[in-house]
Structures are given as structure tokens and as C-alpha cells.
């Protein structure tokens, strides 16, 4: 399988993917440069992928790189980490997918209608299934939580990856509208069941500054 080697230079994070007569699937635009004998193929997306793109605006063309050499991925202020799947399925936050071994199936996960509308995650998220490595990006280093028939309430969109076995809904944190207003909390993301959740609750300082600079509410 492909090897993913991360590093940091000038406070910017990067990942180099090493291939030895292997294949890797990348998010469109994730490649920075290629060294070696590596060919690129971009297959037509599935119907589900096309529908997902129409709703989320994400690019469904995820090219496959095959051969021997190195691929330098686009540097980022965000954090990179890997998911090592063993016949498992995970659902990723929008924009979290970066790369995956060719044995991993990358497809669209459809959220419930009201969950998608209220959560801000949209109707579709990225689903990865199989056995192999998936490279994920997040605003900061992830905290891994193991749920065993448990319930997790998250106020915000920082659950960057979750086991597909978990039930995901959006609920009011209190039972009444007045209670929601006085508590300072409205709708929250609720994960229930057994599985694993990756939370990026504390962003990298540089990534946080970048999000502020490009915020529509920024005065700069």
C-alpha cells in the first residue's frame, strides 16, 4: 500500500505519498508535484457522486495516480492524519477527504433531509469503505472518542470523521424554544450507538487565523 509521510516547514503542514508500483486516489486539486514514473487517470463519477456534487459543490472527479515515485500534496495550515480501515466504513466531513489507497471505495453518504439542512453539513458527505489507509485533513489535531452504546453531543461542525455505524441526527439541546434561547445553544449534532469519532475541537493557530481572514464577517 501507499506510504504517507507528513512534515512541517515554515509552520505549514504537508504530506508526501510514496508509491511502489501502486495506486492512490486523490481529491481533485490535491496534487502539488510528482516525481517518478506515475500516470494519472480520472474516471467518470457515479450517479451518486454527480448528485452529491450538485448539492454540495464538491468536485466529484477524484483522479487515480499509478506507478512508482513520490507525490507531494498541496501544503496546508490544516492538520493531516490517517484512518487505517480494516473492512470498515467511515463518513467524512465535507472537504476532509484528501487521499486513499486504491482498495478503498470512495462514495457519497446521504444524510437525512432535516439533519442535512440543520447541521450545515449538507445532504451528502463523503463515505470511505474497505481495507486500507485514508488521508484526512482537519482544522487541528483530532481527538479520538470510542463510543460503546453511548451518546455524544457536539456543538459545531468539528466531528471530521465518524464510523458509519453511528446514528447521526440534529436535535435541540433543550426541550423548549425558551430553553434553547436562554441556554445559548440551539441545534446540536448528536451521535449515538457504538463506533469511533474523530473530533478536531481545537484548531491549529494558523488555520484559525486563516479562517478569520477569509470569513465573510471579516472587516479586512
Q: How far apart are CA 82 and CA 37, in angstroms?
A: 25
So what's the pLDDT on residue 43? 73
So what's the pLDDT on residue 196? 98
The CATH number for 68's domain is: 3.60.160.10
Residue with cell 481533485: 28
Three-state helix/strand/coil letters over 71-118: EEECCECCEEEEEEEEEEEEEECCCCEEEEECCCEEEEEECCHHHHHH
So what's the pLDDT on residue 113? 46
Diameter of the chain by CA atoms?
63
- Which region among 79-83, 84-88, 156-160 has the lowest average model confidence (pLDDT)? 156-160
* Residue 10 falls inside a structural domain: yes
With beta carbons less than 8 A apart as the criterion, state whether 33 and 112 touch: no
pLDDT digit string, tens, across residues 162-187? 999 999 988 887 654 444 443 445 78
* Residue 218 falls inside a structural domain: no
Which ranges of the chain would DSSP assign to H, the alpha helix? 47-56, 113-119, 177-183, 205-213
pLDDT digit string, tens, across residues 32-61? 999 999 999 987 655 555 555 555 445 567
So what's the pLDDT on residue 210? 63
pLDDT digit string, tens, across residues 103-157? 999 988 776 544 444 445 556 789 999 999 999 999 999 999 999 999 999 987 7
Residue with cell 486516489: 25
Helices (H) and strands (E) counted in the chain, each on its own, are 4, 12
What is the residue range of 148's domain? Answer: 3-213
So what's the pLDDT on residue 53? 52
Q: How far apart are CA 99 and CA 5, in angstroms?
A: 13
* Residue 168 falls inside a structural domain: yes
* Residue 220 falls inside a structural domain: no
3-state secondary structure of 120: coil
So what's the pLDDT on residue 56? 47
* Residue 16 falls inside a structural domain: yes
Rounded alpha-carbon distances, angstroms, from residue 80 to 14, 28, 108: 8, 17, 21
With beta carbons less than 8 A apart as the criterion, state whether 59 and 28 touch: yes
Name the burial class of residue 75, with classes exposed (0-12), middle (13-18) and buried (19+) by CB atoms within 10 angstroms of its CB: middle
* Residue 219 falls inside a structural domain: no
- What global pTM score does this model have? 0.81
So what's the pLDDT on residue 32? 97
* Residue 204 falls inside a structural domain: yes
The total of structural domains in the chain comes to 1
Amino acid at each position: 500500500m501507499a506510504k504517507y509521510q507528513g512534515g512541517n516547514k515554515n509552520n505549514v503542514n504537508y504530506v508526501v505519498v510514496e508509491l511502489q508500483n501502486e495506486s492512490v486516489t486523490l481529491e481533485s486539486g490535491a496534487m502539488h508535484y510528482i516525481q517518478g514514473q506515475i500516470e494519472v487517470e480520472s474516471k467518470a463519477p457515479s450517479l451518486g457522486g454527480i448528485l452529491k456534487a450538485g448539492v454540495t459543490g464538491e468536485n466529484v472527479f477524484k483522479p487515480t495516480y499509478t506507478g512508482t515515485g513520490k507525490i507531494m500534496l498541496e501544503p496546508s495550515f490544516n492538520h493531516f492524519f490517517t484512518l487505517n480501515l480494516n473492512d470498515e466504513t467511515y463518513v467524512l466531513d465535507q472537504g476532509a477527504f484528501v487521499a486513499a489507497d486504491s482498495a478503498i471505495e470512495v462514495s457519497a453518504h446521504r444524510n437525512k433531509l432535516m439533519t442535512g439542512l440543520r447541521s450545515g453539513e449538507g445532504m451528502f458527505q463523503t463515505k470511505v469503505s474497505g481495507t486500507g489507509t485514508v488521508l484526512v485533513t482537519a482544522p487541528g489535531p483530532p481527538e479520538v472518542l470510542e463510543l460503546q452504546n453511548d451518546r455524544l453531543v457536539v456543538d459545531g461542525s468539528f466531528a471530521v470523521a465518524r464510523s458509519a455505524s453511528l446514528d447521526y441526527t440534529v436535535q435541540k439541546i433543550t426541550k423548549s424554544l425558551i430553553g434553547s434561547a436562554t441556554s445559548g445553544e440551539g441545534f446540536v449534532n448528536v451521535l449515538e450507538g457504538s463506533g469511533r469519532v474523530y473530533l478536531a475541537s481545537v484548531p491549529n493557530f494558523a488555520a484559525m487565523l486563516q479562517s478569520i481572514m477569509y470569513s465573510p464577517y471579516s472587516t479586512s
